[in-house]
Amino acid sequence: MPWQFKSGLPVLPNNSQFAFGAFEMQISEEAALTAQPVEDFRIDSLVKEGDLVAQGAPVLRSRRQPEIVATAPMAARVASVDLGPGHRLSSMVFFKEAAPGRHEYDTKAAASGDAVALRASLLASGLWRFFRSRPFGKTPVPAEIPSAIFVMALDTRPAAPDPRLALHDRIGDFEHGLRALLGMTEGPVHLCQDSGDELVGPPDFPGNFRLIRNGGQHPWGLAGLQIHAHYPAAINRPVWDIHAEDVAGIGEFLRTGMVPETLTLSVTGTALREPRLVRCQPGADLRSLCYSHVKPGLHSILSGSALDGRRARWLRHRDRQVAVMVPDGAGQGGHWFLSALHRARRPLPLVPNAAVEQSLGGAFPVMPFLRALSSGDAETATKLGVLSLLTEDLALADYVTCAEPRLSDLLNGMLDRIEAEEAA
């Protein structure tokens, strides 16, 4: 396996096993646009079952922000549209069909440097959803002006695909996309990369460009830790983050007028025969990606890493990993005493120690931070930087502490309360 755990902390994988020639192109026969119930993504469908749609064509729009749309992940026929109460998106499933081809947009004005045209093009093509705004981790509203943007060409999650591999043949598009971002804010645009060679040469970039190097120790490859360290988010100071491959996708879109067809994905896990690096369409069918590559026996497919992934049939929006895991205790008889302890459901205590501090990247004073989260002290937590974080940023701390309730759940609840209070 490409990773292991020692002393409560993960030993990160050596991504060099994924050589440049090791990509597999795999477009699954089915794909879907999905949303988790907690996202509360209420939509109006622009298509109906049986319609043929071109890759990149708009297929749904947000009810709250009609300018925000999502597009078809491939040339396909619409198989089903599943909406929950209040028109909440559950899934929109597509069957691959080549006939519709690709949808093309007019990007001449956007590519010329017109900031208004750029926003309109990103919104119309669905690429606006590449951005994530902090606090609260939502897709930014169309009128929002970011105080800073963080481009993540760094990912230290266990077995994450190295962003350099996704960019190695797309540097031109990456630079084009990066220049577009520099025109979307008067604040700094931070490019977070590893300690290797510079991905782009900063001397010919505008003055609001910032290059941040990081040695690659988890969790410092997460956007939340970088934002907290270099430009903390606040209620009236939104900070956006975006994956470097998505920036290259914006550059490709401005050059060609077409939405990128694929993204880079690592498929790893304890139930897999060997790790794989694939290029697939957004929302790919995870069963198809893993079929014939899993070991015999029970397994769970997670969209996301082994630390923060969720069981899923379809690749979730923004995920760059699939973890195929053997369930804990599979094939082993449970001991009656352990079962009794689990049934007791007694919350497990938080014990600050060196491992917990490392799992937070040394970015927070452990005792005050844990105390503020546990007690729901939003004022203290805000002063300590909680508005820069999302649940993924505490996944490693959850693994290390095994506390109940989980730190990420406490963070989620606190952010929901703060957001509700601000909206009141």
Reduce the DSSP state of residue 65 to 3 states and report it: coil
Q: What does the pLDDT read at residue 4?
A: 39
> Which of 410, 368, 404, 411 lies closest to 388, judged by CA?
411
- 43: β partners: 62
Cα 146 from chain centroid (whole Å): 19
Least confident of 97-106, 150-159, 194-203: 194-203
Whether 340 has a pLDDT exceeding 80, the answer reads no
Structure confidence at residue 336 as a pLDDT band (50, 70, 90): low
CB-count burial class (<10 Å; 0-12, 13-18, 19+) for 131:
buried
Q: Predicted confidence band at 339 (pLDDT cuts at 50, 70, 90)?
A: low
pLDDT per position as a tens digit, 37-71: 778 899 999 999 999 999 999 999 999 999 999 99
Q: Reply yes or no on whether the pLDDT at 16 is more than 50.
A: no
Average pLDDT over residues 122-135: 98
pLDDT at 400: 87
For residue 17, the model assigns a pLDDT of: 41
